[in-house]
Homo-oligomer: A and B are copies of this chain.
Amino acid sequence: MTIFLDDIEFANMMCSPKDLDSLAVGFLFAEGLIRGKKDIKKVIADEKDGVVWVELRKPNKPPENLIARRFITTGCGKGLTFVDTEKNNMLLRSKSMFKVRVASIPILMKEFHRKSRLYKLTGGVHSAAICGTRRILVFNEDVGRHSAIDKVVGECILKGIKTNDRIMVTSGRISSEILVKAARSRTPVIISKSAPTDLAVRLATDFGITLVGFARGSRMNIYSNSWRVVTEGHRIGSERA
């Protein structure tokens, strides 16, 4: 896919050729180019040719700036320096009181696997979802674990579905980059059937995010901020206890 931002070629990436508008919007959000739907004037996707044009309401970034940014955030975790700053730590820190019942997690994961149709066909893609405490709200699949998440976050932005006080589920490993995606979209809980990295666990602890790994069947590991995963009898969602 090629993303044109205000008629300037902004990024090229390999992806599964579906829901490119969501992917482009989610990617621009993850890269910090847009903060929400209000920043977007128009999105036009040509799925056949793999091109998405995004027009911003305030085209306030000159081309030099965009190129500089793209140079810094060279993907594959090469743009991590920005999360090291105190300022970003403060900005990304979750203050959410959101909670989820431990018994809900296997139910969400079961629905997640049931929806992973392209994975069942190919064994070659990743899945991602944004969930409430009881069910999956938005789901997608992509050849890349980063892009699968960008697709669900982008769809939420385009459809006006709030992502704060939600649960992010991913089939992929939770690396620091993935954790930062969760932090940016304000989801206070991230769950994976796979492993987290050491740096992701440290960031999740710092950012006040609940990181659940190896969620398989009724088992799971809770690596940070475990107070959000509660047993029967506790209030759930974002109700204050």
Q: Which residues from chain A sit less than 8 Å from chain B, CB to CB? A: 11-14, 67, 70-71, 74-78, 80-81, 122-124, 143-144, 146, 173, 175-177, 194-197, 199, 214
Contacts and interface: CB of A to CB of B under 8 A. Distances in A.
Given A71-B70, A124-B173, A76 B196 contact: no
B124 A194 contact: yes
Q: Please state the number of chain copies in the assembly.
A: 2
Given A14-B80, A176-B14, A195 B123 contact: yes
B78 A71 contact: no
A77 B194 contact: no
A223 B157 CA distance: 39
A196 B71 contact: no
Nearest to A122: B195
Given A70-B71, A71-B67, A143-B197, A78 B11 contact: yes
A12 B75 CA distance: 10
Nearest to A67: B71
A52 B12 CA distance: 28
A66 to B, nearest CB: 12
Given A123-B194, A195-B123, A197-B124, A78 B75 contact: yes
B13 A77 contact: yes
- Determine which residue in A78, A144, A177 has the highest number of CB atoms from chain B within 10 A of its CB, and name it: A78
Contacts of A14: 76-78, 80, 175-177, 199
Nearest to A73: B74
B76 A124 contact: no
Contacts of A70: 71, 74
Contacts of A177: 14
11 contacts: A13-B78, A14-B76, A14-B80, A70-B71, A70-B74, A75-B76, A76-B144, A77-B144, A123-B194, A124-B196, A143-B197
A81 B13 CA distance: 10
Contacts of A197: 124, 143
Contacts of A176: 14
Contacts of A173: 124
A196 to B, nearest CB: 7
A134 B199 CA distance: 38
Contact of A195 (B71, B74, B81, B124): B124
